[in-house]
Structure 1
């Protein structure tokens, strides 16, 4: 469709944008007071349900999660430092071998 110097066309992305927008607007209407808001609990009910569901499902002693996360993070950092140390030493050995080619063999020949 051409209007003046502009071309307009209704493509598949346009269709799916309109479908998505209409679905979002329908859901907003259903959960607000205009749609009687029966499908969403009020703030206090949501807070109480979240606390009630969260606390019994923890299944561990207090601060156990913190200790576990600190131990895992410390272990990961230790492994990373160890790998960096080994890699640094290996690179130094490789560079030394590359820059000093066959020097040990020549020493044995001339002695």
Structure 2
């Protein structure tokens, strides 16, 4: 697994979306499994579970912030669930959901090649 970062722009700031083991662990702790969370975020019918979607986005954005802090020596604070929900509202839920999905797919794609 190798984290592939997607980016979203909000008010002249770029936020990186990272999907790695830290994010997977947080999702499993909250929803039981990545699969259960995925079914909430992308149900076969009906609308996505907004709380699950914002939770995943928050984990991915905050992991991106932590990675940038480690790599760049910065000290940016993590974002709250409510702040991320406002960003998703402004940027567009569908746009961010697509980038989240791409980050998950790209980050886990290497696993199948190495198996």
Category of TM-score, reference length = shorter chain: under 0.3
Larger radius of gyration: 1
TM-score (norm 2): 0.22
- Between Structure 1 and Structure 2, the one with more strand by share is 2
